[in-house]
Amino acid sequence: MQKIEKPKKPLIFYYFVAMVVVILLNTLLFPRLMHQEITQVDYGTFLTMLENKEVAVAQVEQDVIYFTDTSEEPGMYATIPFNDPDLVNRLWESGCMFAQVKPQEMNPILSFLLTFILPVVIFIAIGQLMSRALMKKLGGGPMGGAMQFGKSSAKVYIASETGMKFTDVAGEDEAKENLMEVVDFLHNPQKYQEIGAKMPKGVLLVGPPGTGKTLLAKAVAGEAGVPFFSISGSEFVEMFVGMGANKVRDLFKQANEKAPCIVFIDEIDTIGKKRDASGMGGGNDEREQTLNQLLTEMDGFEGSKGVVILAATNRPETLDPALLRPGRFDRRVPVELPDLQGREAILKVHAARVKLAENVDFNAIARAASGASGAELANMVNEAALRAVRQGRKFVTQEDLQESIEVVIAGYQKKNKILSDHERMIVSYHEIGHALVAALQTHSAPVAKITIIPRTSGALGYTMQVEQEERNLMSREELENQIATLTGGRAAEEIVFHSITTGASNDIEKATKLARAMVTRYGMTDDFDMVALETVTNQYMGGDTALACAPETSAKIDQMVVDTVKTQHGKALKLLKDNEGKLHELSKFLCEKETITGEEFMRILEKKD
């Protein structure tokens, strides 16, 4: 991709230069001009100099004598005269001149002009000159608006050989199809106009972070072969009120001139947030003005003119409804987390840039990386390549990739973290507790790996479960089993050590979240039937929820969540007690080996004593 416009230096830079110049002038030049240094000497010295004929010029005032010496660069002196009747004679005899020595006091008005007004004038003149030159460089008119602060800094992209293509985006087929239609429209508008079809004015890409929204937009730029204006929502947020709105106006003016073209506004939620009906705060004026301007501009041009507005966000629920109504962003393209196939494809796209061993099995990696976004997968491939370099190999192996999944999920191995023997024992039992409960329940995913090597994320160990195939639906039993598995770690500690530790905090958080969702969102309790008690407020960013029920109901929900977790905890305790022999055997094995595979685990579990 090739940028047409160079990023310009902010105007403030030139003012800064001007200011430095003025300060230099003021401190170095003016003081010399105006106050030449006068050396005070005593009367004796003056008389000696007179006798030695070293005085060149003298000026006698009532209570001070100014004089200069006879050197090449005469210095100026002053002395206080004594009541010396001989003074005139002495002066006469020394042969010095009688003349003005001290320069005339400067006219106070002139001095003021020189020290205060002149710098300011120079300052402004330089600033004007610079900004004038700048405007010329940018091709604006001679006066091109008083200042350039409000100019949109949208970068203009044109297609070039280096640009992204749709083939760089793996998976996301629906989104690609959608955007290809947009590109096709820009190339063959008559095909659509003949039937009377209008292109949507705005296309909004929504999805979790790292799923390739920005990447897709770049691919559109690469494929479209029309000018592509790209700007991030945060760039509209300006220092001065009204400037954001100005930028929007300017952006659309440029777009209209260059049509057919595409305007891409990334992270549109920064300017497109719901306007505040209550008028609280009052500090949102600027953002509101910007949004209003955007709405106005979107209404202002004809869809058939060939300006398509593309926007991306990962917080669609926060957008102002006015943005989403027909005629504005009327097409919403979901860019979701990749499924198994998608993950495999993304891994392959990124792995094409690294040297691979022959036995690499992308499917296995994709399965283990369930829930990872495109950005995380790209990161995994890179981590694997870095690991290969660290180990002095010339290619990436399956182990590199497997380890890199764990790096991205759990952080690096923390080699210098030393656990005491007792702690290692506890962590081993905790992890085996999870794994054993998972394995003993029919509906739980099989165990792939268990390790007690601490990670930089703070995890002291973990159990990796990998589903055989991609899951889209979860039954109530499966969710309950997941909760039981999460409580399995703590349950094992209780059974063996008769005490509990902080090691289960993450498990507790997850189990609570699951149990709560079962009650409030999945309608899985008899008491509340199919009633939604919570709504998701932040679908793509952590899935925050907001309670939507009476306080009494809320208390009841809490009780049911506690009951659900308690029941599953009890189940886990029972499962582990019934298999205490295996629990001990497996834990000792793990404690010795630090990391065991799913097969090793199953072998010991299925071995008959």
Q: Shortest Cβ distance from residue 150 to Zn ion (Å)?
A: 55
Per-residue x/- marks for ligand ADP, 27-46, CB under 6 A?
--------------------
HEC readout, 207-239: CCCCCCHHHHHHHHHHHHCCCEEEEEHHHHCCC
**Is 171 a residue that touches ligand ADP (CB under 6 A)?**
yes
Nearest CB to Mg ion, comparing residues 290 and 373: 373
Which residues in the 210-239 window bind Mg ion by CB under 5 A? 214
Which residues in the 500-519 window bind Zn ion by CB under 5 A? 507
Q: Shortest Cβ distance from residue 260 to ligand ADP (Å)?
A: 24
Nearest CB to Zn ion, comparing residues 271 and 583: 583
375 binds, among Zn ion, ligand ADP, Mg ion, none (CB under 5 to 8 A by kind): ligand ADP
Q: Shortest Cβ distance from residue 321 to ligand ADP (Å)?
A: 23
Q: Say if strands 462-465 and 545-547 run parallel, antiparallel, or are unpaired.
A: unpaired
Rounded to the nearest 10 degrees, what angle do helices 213-224 and 173-187 cross at? 30
- Could you tell me which of 561, 548, 448 has the C-alpha nearest to residue 508? 561
How many residues touch Zn ion (CB under 5 A)? Answer: 2
Residues 410 and 455 sit within 8 Å (Cβ to Cβ):
yes
Per-residue x/- marks for ligand ADP, 302-331, CB under 6 A?
----------x-------------------
Rounded to the nearest 10 degrees, what angle do helices 87-94 and 43-51 cross at? 40
Residue 386's H or E segment, with its range, is: helix 374-390
- Which residue, judged by CB position, is nearest to ligand ADP in the bound state? 374
210 binds, among Zn ion, Mg ion, ligand ADP, none (CB under 5 to 8 A by kind): ligand ADP
Q: Shortest Cβ distance from residue 379 to ligand ADP (Å)?
A: 8
Residue 385 to residue 160: CA distance in whole angstroms:
29
507 binds, among ligand ADP, Mg ion, Zn ion, none (CB under 5 to 8 A by kind): Zn ion
Residues 178 and 331 sit within 8 Å (Cβ to Cβ):
yes
Q: What is the radius of gyration, based on Cα positions, of the chain?
A: 39
**Is 374 a residue that touches ligand ADP (CB under 6 A)?**
yes
Q: Select the span of 157-165, 208-216, 239-247, 590-598 touching Mg ion (CB under 5 A).
A: 208-216
Residue type, 114: L
Residue 372 to residue 89: CA distance in whole angstroms:
104
- Among positions 127, 163, 210, 488, the unique one binding ligand ADP when judged by CB under 6 A: 210
CA atoms within 13 A on the CB side of 113: 5
CA atoms within 13 A on the CB side of 134: 22
Q: Shortest Cβ distance from residue 206 to ligand ADP (Å)?
A: 10
- Among positions 152, 211, 397, 487, the unique one binding ligand ADP when judged by CB under 6 A: 211
Nearest CB to Mg ion, comparing residues 268 and 345: 268
Alpha helices in 275-372 (DSSP H): 285-300, 321-324, 340-351, 362-368
Q: Shortest Cβ distance from residue 134 to ligand ADP (Å)?
A: 32
Alpha helices in 391-420 (DSSP H): 398-410
**SS3 at position 147:** coil
Q: Shortest Cβ distance from residue 186 to ligand ADP (Å)?
A: 21
Q: Select the span of 76-84, 372-380, 384-392, 518-526 touching ligand ADP (CB under 6 A).
A: 372-380
Q: Shortest Cβ distance from residue 372 to ligand ADP (Å)?
A: 10
293 binds, among ligand ADP, Mg ion, Zn ion, none (CB under 5 to 8 A by kind): none
Would residue 431 show up in a list of annotated catalytic residues for this protein? Answer: yes
Residue type, 294: L
Nearest CB to ligand ADP, comparing residues 272 and 461: 272
Nearest CB to Mg ion, comparing residues 216 and 514: 216
Residue 82 to residue 42: CA distance in whole angstroms:
10
Residue 53 to residue 42: CA distance in whole angstroms:
17
Q: How many of the other CB atoms lie within 10 Å of CB of 593?
A: 14
Q: Select the span of 9-17, 102-110, 210-218, 317-325 touching ligand ADP (CB under 6 A).
A: 210-218
DSSP per position, 17-81: HHHHHHHHIIIIIHHHHH---EEE--HHHHHHHHHTT-EEEEEE-SS-EEEEESSSS--EEEEPP
**Is 268 a residue that touches ligand ADP (CB under 6 A)?**
no
Q: Shortest Cβ distance from residue 577 to Zn ion (Å)?
A: 18
The active-site residue, picked from 223, 431, 480, 493, is: 431
- Among positions 119, 489, 561, 575, the unique one binding Zn ion when judged by CB under 5 A: 489
Which residues in the 327-366 window bind ligand ADP by CB under 6 A? 346, 349
Tokens of 520: 């409030």
Tokens 């001009």 sit at which residue?
Answer: 33
Nearest CB to Zn ion, comparing residues 315 and 434: 434
Catalytic residues, by residue number, are 431
Which residues in this chain contact Zn ion in the complex, by CB under 5 A? Answer: 489, 507
Which residues in this chain contact Mg ion in the complex, by CB under 5 A? Answer: 214
Which residues in this chain contact ligand ADP in the complex, by CB under 6 A? Answer: 169-172, 209-215, 312, 346, 349, 374-375, 378
